[in-house]
Amino acid sequence: MSESGEFQRSSSHFTDRITAGGAGGGGRDGQWPVEAGRYRLVVSRACPWASRALVVRRLLGLEEALSLAVTDPIQDERSWRFTLDPDDRDPVLGIRFLGEAYQAREPGYDGGISVPAIVDVPSGELVTNDYQRLTLDLSTEWGPLHRDGAPELYPEALRDEIDERMEGIYQDVNNGVYRAGFAGGQEAYDAAYARLFARLDQVSEHLAERRYLVGDTITEADVRLFTTLVRFDAVYHGHFKCNRNKLTEDRVLWAYARDLFQTPGFGDTVDFDHIKRHYYQVHQDINPTRIVPRGPDLRGWRTAHHRQELGGRPFGDGTPPPPPPTAEVIQPL
């Protein structure tokens, strides 16, 4: 928090990368090798930053190459915990708390413990918690392990435009809802609120006559916008005071979000129960009663969106991902 009451997000502390040309050993030069089965992706289904990795992993078909650990949506003083697993312990890493992997990497580490995180299974060490880079590397460096028909989410010819779109959306929307929700003063809140809705209005206008943010296929930019939009009415509108209007009241953005939600790889990674319980029960300074609202009615996510009338090819020359592995299926709406 700044002196003016503005929320300031901490940067990722562990920014090693897993690359096609990475080191063959422990990655002490900051580069780890792409290797099927070596790493475990740790996520909370409540977290929008982790949800990016869930969507990209599904779209690219990396489920067998990169195993998944899902934490309890409710943290305690030791942060993310594996209480959804037998004996409250991740069955692959053998740990009770994600912080143990942080300590294995850097003994005595006392900073934040965040998801998504990738852990090296043989050593039990954290490799990276760099949520901004992680999904881009899954798209560009893990290519040999992608499924047949995987879409190109970060095409080289469009990267400048994708990066520009993602930067504005990150600053004003992805992080903007947090700047509003965790603002420590009226002025900081008002500024975040104004930037958030100015950007959403701009994006809505941009999407009015095109199906996707960049080009005619789904890209990383769509993934990043989606993970905030899908949480908007459930938590950000009320809990974070982002209440000029609901997502459902913006005709374009509501249809765009439903289009993506109904696309294989997006909605099948969303767990509204985890999302709502995390925000309303963990942020006790905002919601001291820890009461979780019953609404909103989620059935609208399955209604017709008609965005296909704008054209576009969701997966480009690729194909939709197959259904998720049985162990990762979320109860449908």
Q: What is the CA radius of gyration of the chain?
A: 19
Whether the CB-CB separation of 72 and 45 falls below 8 Å is answered with no
What does the block give as tokens for 24? 């063959």
- Residues noted as catalytic: 47, 178
**3-state SS class at 329:** coil
Torsion of CA 243, 245, 248, 249, to 10 degrees: 170
| CA atoms of 325 and 265, how far apart (whole Å) | 12
Distance of CA 206 to the CA centre of its chain: 22
- Sequence-distant (6+) residues with CB within 8 A of 46 are 73, 271, 274, 275, 277, 278, 279
